[in-house]
Structure 1
C-alpha cells in the first residue's frame, strides 16, 4: 500500500500565514515605538531642544524577533548629555519645569524608562491583538 500527499498548498498557506502574522506584529511594533517615542520626547528635559531633537527610533526584524528601539543622543564636546539627563537626579531648569508632561508622565529624568515600564502591558497587548487578528 502506498500513500502520497501533496503538501505544497498546505505549506504555501502556512508560509503565507506566517508572513501575515509577522507583518501584523511588525506593524504593531512600529505603533508601539511611535507611541513610546512620542511620550519620551514630550517628557525629556528641555534646555535648547537638542535632546528632544536627538530622538531616533527604528524597528528591525532579526530571524524570528522584532526589535523596536527608541534612543536619544545629545552630545556636547564629547559629553553625552542624553545619558546624564536620563540617569542623574537633578533640578529641572525653568524651561523643563514649565513644560507640560504627556500621558500622565512629568518632564524629568528616566524619560525613556518610565513610559516603557508604564506602557509595557499596552504594548504587549497591541502586539498580541495584532497577531490574533492576523491568524
Structure 2
C-alpha cells in the first residue's frame, strides 16, 4: 500500500491566459510525468499534488477535470504568506506555493467583466 504524505498545495490566482498556462504546465510536469505523454489521455491521479485554480469567472476545460485539480469560482480578497482568502464565503485556501496570475482588468468592449457564459453573451450582444 502506498503511503501518502501531506500533499503539496499549489494555488494559482487567476484563470486567464497566464493562470491557465501555469495550470496546464504544472499538469504536464507534475501529473502527466510519463515521458510518452501526448496529451490525448488523462494523467493518472497523484495524491501528493493538489492544484487549486481560483478565478472570478466560470470556466470549463476538459483537461482541468482531474482529481488533483480543483477549480474555484471566487474572488481573492487577501493573500497572506500561507493562504489566500476568498471573498464570497470568507474562507481561505492554504498553499505551499502560490502562482499570482491575476493579469490586468479591462472592461468592455476591450475586455469582459462577465463571470458566466450567459453574462458574457448578454454583454457582447450589446456591442
Question: TM-score when scaled to structure 1?
Answer: 0.23
Q: Of Structure 1 and Structure 2, which has the larger fraction of its residues in strand? A: 2
Larger Cα Rg: Structure 1 or Structure 2? 1
Q: TM-score, normalised by structure 2?
A: 0.24
Higher helix content, 1 or 2? 1
